[in-house]
């Protein structure tokens, strides 16, 4: 289906009349989309490829979106599925860098703590790393994470609980060996 400049698609109170509206929605969530993709594929180039493919898929299937208010979970679900699909296709995914920046006014201890936490989160297996990033770094609720990842809320709670336990063990090991 062509969604060109003269096309009008009704999206629950919003009519997407041209690609600029779609682009505004994408730009609004681009940081979260990247953080989610990177948390899964753990590689900047692959995360960029996931984002590109996700945007293409979303634009191509824009008519599947029922209402504008659900754009954020809808696009994040596409990003999640695209990233998982990439991992399945490419069994070798390597981590190359952290996904958040530190502020200039932070003390050395705060920076060391944040780096240790990011490294620990990076060691978590994919489903646990994904829920931790979405819950703690992106402030999503359990129900939103369930919608994005396609698992139920109980499973998300269990994954978060297990991830916390794993992080405690990793961090305890790191700080007792330091």
pLDDT of residue 123: 86
**What are the tens digits of pLDDT across the range 55-106?**
999 988 887 776 666 788 889 999 999 988 888 776 543 333 333 444 555 5
Say what the pTM is: 0.59
**What are the tens digits of pLDDT across the range 131-153?**
988 888 888 899 989 988 889 99
- The rounded distance, in Å, linking the Cα atoms of 54 and 24 is 15
- Encoded tokens for 77: 């679900």
Q: Please name every residue paired with 10 in a beta bridge, in sequence order, or none if there are none.
A: 15
H or E, element range at 15? strand 14-16
18-22, 45-49, 71-75: least confident range: 18-22
């Amino acid at each position: 289906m062509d969604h060109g400049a003269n096309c009008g698609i009704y999206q629950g109170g919003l009519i997407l009349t041209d690609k600029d509206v779609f682009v505004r929605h994408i730009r609004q969530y681009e940081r979260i989309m990247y953080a989610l993709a990177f948390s899964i594929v753990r590689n900047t180039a692959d995360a960029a490829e996931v984002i590109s493919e996700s945007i293409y898929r979303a634009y191509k299937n824009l008519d599947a979106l029922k209402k504008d208010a659900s754009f954020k979970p809808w696009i994040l679900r596409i990003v999640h599925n695209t990233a998982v699909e990439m991992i399945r296709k490419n069994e070798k995914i390597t981590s190359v860098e952290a996904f958040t920046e530190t502020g200039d006014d932070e003390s050395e201890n705060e920076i060391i703590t944040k780096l240790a936490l990011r490294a620990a989160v990076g060691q978590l297996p994919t489903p646990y790393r994904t829920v931790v990033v979405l819950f703690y770094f992106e402030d999503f609720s359990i129900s939103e994470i369930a919608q994005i990842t396609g698992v139920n809320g109980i499973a998300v709670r269990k994954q978060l609980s297990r991830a916390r336990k794993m992080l405690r063990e990793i961090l305890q090991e790191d700080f007792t060996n330091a």
